[in-house]
């Protein structure tokens, strides 16, 4: 069964990482593949990705490898000031 989980605190996304799914790294961390996320920006545009990485030392969620698109860290997202206003993880339970 699929479950939609809202990420209220950006750093909580690490609970859904799967570092064994990709050999490509970003700032020393492996990309998570196969764990889908849904991002909603300030214009209510929906962005989906099943390849992402949360970079702890920069406090950023990179969700598009080719375009290097990322969500600002907790200082922005957690306070509602980021261009990404909501993040959801699709978990298979």
Provide the residue ranges of all domains of the chain, joining segments of one domain with +. Answer: 2-92
Confidence of residue 85 (pLDDT cuts 50, 70, 90): very high
pLDDT in tens, 11-66: 999 899 887 787 777 777 888 888 999 999 999 999 999 999 988 877 889 999 88
Distance (Å, whole) CA 39 – CA 50: 11
Q: Are strands 25-26 and 29-30 parallel, antiparallel or unpaired?
A: antiparallel
**Which pTM was predicted?**
0.87
Strand ordering across the sheet containing 2-7: 2-7, 84-92, 32-41, 46-55, 60-64, 69-71
How far from 57 is each of 2, 36, 75, 90, 91, CA to CA, in Å?
A: 31, 23, 13, 25, 25
pLDDT at 18: 82
């Amino acid at each position: 069964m699929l479950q939609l989980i809202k990420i209220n605190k950006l750093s909580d996304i690490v609970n859904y990482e799967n570092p064994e799914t990709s050999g490509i790294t970003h700032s020393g961390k492996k990309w998570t593949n196969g764990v889908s996320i849904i991002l909603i920006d300030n214009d209510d545009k929906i962005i989906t990705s099943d390849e992402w990485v949360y970079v702890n030392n920069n406090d950023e969620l990179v969700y598009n490898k080719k375009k290097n698109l990322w969500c600002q860290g907790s200082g922005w997202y957690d306070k509602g000031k980021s261009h990404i206003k909501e993040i959801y993880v699709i978990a298979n339970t």
